[in-house]
Structure 1
Amino acid sequence: MERTLVVVGYGMVAHRLVERLRADDPGRRWRLVVLGEEPWPAYDRVSLTSRLEGRDARDLLLAGPEPLRAPRVRLRLGTRVVRVDRRRARVVAADGTAWRYDALVLATGARPFVPPVPGRDLPGCFTYRTLDDLEGIRAAARPGDPAVVIGGGLLGLEAANGLRALGMRPRILEQAPWPMPAQLDARGGELLAGLVGERGIAVRCGVSVGSLRAGPGGRVRSVVLRDGTALDASLVVLASGVRPRDELAGAAGLATGERGGFLVDEHCRTADPRIWAVGDCAAAGGRSYGLVAPGYRMADTVAAQLTGGAVRPFTGADPSARLKLAGVHVAGFGDAHARTAGAVEFAVEDLRARRYAKLVLSGDGGVLLGGALVGDTAAFPALRSLVGKRLPGSADALLGRRP
């Protein structure tokens, strides 16, 4: 007998789930109802900045119209779900429409964190999360004008690079002492700031924003720091991170993690046996990852349970990543901040080549715990595969330097 699976959200992870179910359910046990809040079908959010570099928005879509017109898939875009009625096993949208479910997967993603800065709602201020955000930025960008990005993490660097591609003069403001503080130490962050600065993106760290001020016409004109310094800006991007979209949890009586997200077990299931959560909105073991790779693994785990396949429990994910930010290669893996008891650090810096590498080792120097690379990430695949293992050679050799 055919059953109904309702998927709330249609981002990258929800798309992965839908594709797995279509491929792994030849017996057609499930009819899928997919409710997406955005007007766009699932797209490659990781590559958003390429839109500011001139890429057509349609090229970012993850699927053409054919899979979405499949007989067993009903997709409804521009639909915001406002309530999960567990007693009646249904979800209710903002327009009052309701859908019953036999199983429910919450894939609501994350929302941008907007710091409570006066003036944050002025015209010319944007977040950096959706295609609509980027369409607004493209329309508002004025080549040659100054722009400010609030936040010097991965998202802020991406946003600044996109503004540079639009011909603006971007400046990054970061409250921490260096950019990408979650992935890099002080020296790595300082080198990154210098390399990014050479590419036309100014980075100012250790500062706090006090307010955003309007100019003629009511649009944002300047960013005022807490010390009173005013920085000109005809466009501001708020890129201070994201938070799990878990607002459906409260009224539904679903538990959330300490830092947000629907609390799920190793099978990505909530305390309600008919409800799962995957991706940025899920707190697996109490932790939300905010990366697409763990989300894909969660989607695979849920799809296997629904289709009777081999289930691989989600017991955690490696947060390692290699990126190219504003033309600068950066990578972080494992315990990059040496938080493991007794850990020691081994760092190498090549000033001429503008490269920095750090390994974090166990107290006896034999086991690789993590590390960070700036300027040259060629060693990343090999180093990542060695995390938790004893080094096969000297740290110098692993970093490509003769002892």
Structure 2
Amino acid sequence: MTATLIVIGHGMVGHRLVDALRELDRDRRWRVVVLGEEREPAYDRVRLSAYLGGRSRAELSLVAPEFAADPRIDVRSGTPAVHVDRRARTVRTADGDVLRYDALVLATGSRPFVPPVPGRELGNCFVQRTLEDADALRAAVRPGRPAVVVGGGLLGLEAAQGLQLLGMQPHLVEAAPHLMPAQLDVEAAHILQHGADRLGLHLHCGTTVTAVHAGPHGAARSVTLSDGTVLDTDLVVFAAGVRPRDDLPVAPALRLGDRGGYLTDVLCRTSDAHVWAVGECAAVLGRCHGLVAPGYRMAQSVARQLTGRPSEPLDAMDTSTELKLLGVHVATFGRTPGEDGSAIEMTFREGVSRYAKVFLRRDTGALLGGILAGETGSRADLAARVGRPPATDLERVLFPDPSF
């Protein structure tokens, strides 16, 4: 007998779950209905800056022809869910349809966090979360003019880089003392800042935007920072992080994490045995993850469970990252523990071109993880040694000779 799975959300993680289920469901047990809020089917949200810089929607699409043609999959784009009745096991859509499910997966993602700054509602104030957001931002771009990006994390750096590619002169404002405070330490961020300086990006760290001021036509024209600086600007992009989307009306209500998100166990199961949550809206053991890699692991886990396969618990998520921003390679791997005395730290640096810090277990000397910035060795090679003693020629692994 065919059962019905409803997936609420057709973002990157929701799509990965359904695609994995297609491969694993060899008995064709499941019929899947995907409810997407956006009119565009799943696309690579991580590459929005590339879209801002000229890539097409087709180039960002994640939907392969065989997925679109699969008769088991009913994708309803532009059809958000508006209510879930857990007792009746039904979902009501914005179109008024009431759909019954045997299993439900919440993949509602997150929404941009816009700090409560006076003037944030003015014209030419943007977020960068969807293709429509990027279209609106691109339409407002005026090459050669200044722009302000609020947030010096990954989202903010990508937005600033995208604006720079379009010819604007972005200022980037970060409340922390350095860029990417969630991933990098001060010295790694210094390498990244050197790259920003080289590209002409204007950085304002250790300060915040306290107000956005309107010009004569009611659109943003300048901002004031907490250190008293006033910056002229043609537009403002808020890229100060995200918050889980956990506000879908569900009756009875599902348990939420202390910091938001649908609370799940290590297998992404909510307090309802028929309901899972994956991606940025899921608070696995109370913690939300804003990276796509943990979301993909959640998707694979739930697809395996729905097809009767064993799945490993997700109590140790891989939050490592690797990317190139502002012309600088930055990466983290394994665990990067805080300064609590539980690990030995080894630091390597070479001017402003490369930096590495590795963490070793104090009792065994095994490699725990590390931070890389600049022209360093392969993150993958280093990650493969996590849990084992580091290479005897560790410095050469971290800083390979560029002539080879």
TM-score by length of 1: 0.94
1:31 aligned partner: 31
Partner of 1:198: 198
Matched, 1:329 2:338: no
1:107-122 mapped onto 2 (5 Å cutoff)? 107-122=107-122
- Following superposition, the deviation at residue 14 of structure 1 comes to 1.0
2:384 is paired with a residue of what secondary structure?
A: helix
Name the stretch that deviates more: 171-180 or 57-66: 57-66
- CA deviations on 1:316-364 (whole Å, 9 max, x unpaired) are 311111111122111112343534533232212211x621111122336
Displacement of 1:249: 6.6
2:362 paired with 1:393: no
Q: In the aligned structure 2, how far is the partner of 1:227 from the partner of 1:50?
A: 33
SS at 2:287's partner residue? coil
Note the C-alpha offset of 1:71: 2.1
Q: Is the 8 A contact 1:331 1:374 kept in 2?
A: yes
Tell me the distance in 1 between the aligned counterparts of 2:166 and 2:132.
Answer: 16
Gaps of 5+ in 1: none
**How does 1:340-355 map onto structure 2 within 5 Å?**
340-351=340-351, 354-355=353-354
Paired residue for 1:237?
237
> What are the residue-to-residue correspondences of 1:243-254 with 2, within 5 Å?
243-248=243-248, 251-254=251-254
Displacement, 1:231? 0.3
Which residue in the other structure is 1:123 paired with?
Answer: 123
**Is contact 2:156-2:240 (8 Å) kept?**
yes
RMSD between superposed Cα atoms in Å: 1.9
Q: Distance in 1 between matches of 2:302 and 2:226?
A: 47
Aligned to 2:290: 290
Q: For residue 71 of structure 1, what is the aligned residue in structure 2? A: 71
What one-letter code is carried by the residue in structure 2 that aligns with 1:120?
Answer: R
Partner Cα separation in structure 2 for residue 196 and residue 127 of structure 1? 22
Question: How many residues end up aligned between the 2 structures?
Answer: 401
Aligned to 2:60: 60
Q: Percent identity?
A: 53
1:9-51: CA deviation from partner (whole Å, max 9, x where unpaired):
0011111111122222233221111100011100011111111
2:264 aligned partner: 264
**AA in 1 matched with 2:215:** G
Question: How far 1:171 sits from its partner (Å)?
Answer: 1.1
Contact kept? 2:119, 2:213, Cα under 8 Å:
yes
TM-aligned CA deviation for residue 401 of structure 1: 7.0
In the TM superposition, what are the counterparts of 1:2-401 in structure 2 within 5 Å?
A: 2-64=2-64, 67-248=67-248, 251-351=251-351, 354-363=353-362, 366-393=365-392, 395-400=394-399
Give the partner amino acid of 2:373. V
Is the 1:185–1:337 Cα contact (8 Å) retained in structure 2? no
Greater CA drift, 152-161 or 53-62: 53-62
Q: Give, in angstroms, the shift of residue 104 of structure 1.
A: 0.4
- Give the drift of 1:273: 0.7
Counterpart CA distance in 1 for 2:148 and 2:193 is 15
After TM superposition, the structure 1 stretch with the greater mean CA deviation from structure 2, 268-277 or 392-401, is: 392-401
Shift of 1:391: 2.0
Alignment partners' CA distance in 2, 1:95 and 1:210: 41
1:346-401 Cα shifts (integer Å, max 9, x gaps)? 212211x6211111223368222222111124231222222232223154344237
1:164–1:200 CA contact under 8 A, matched in 2: no
In 2, distance between residues paired with 1:99 and 1:204?
50
The letter of the residue matching 1:13 is V
Residues 331 and 377 in structure 1, CA contact (< 8 A), matched pair in contact too: no
Structure 2 contact 349–356 (Cα < 8 Å) conserved: yes
2:79 and 2:395 mapped to 1: Cα distance?
A: 55
The Cα shift of 1:180 comes to 0.6
Q: Distance in 1 between matches of 2:48 and 2:213?
A: 28
Q: Report deviation, 1:235.
A: 1.2
Unaligned runs of 5+ in 2: none
- For the residue of structure 2 that corresponds to 1:218, the secondary structure is coil
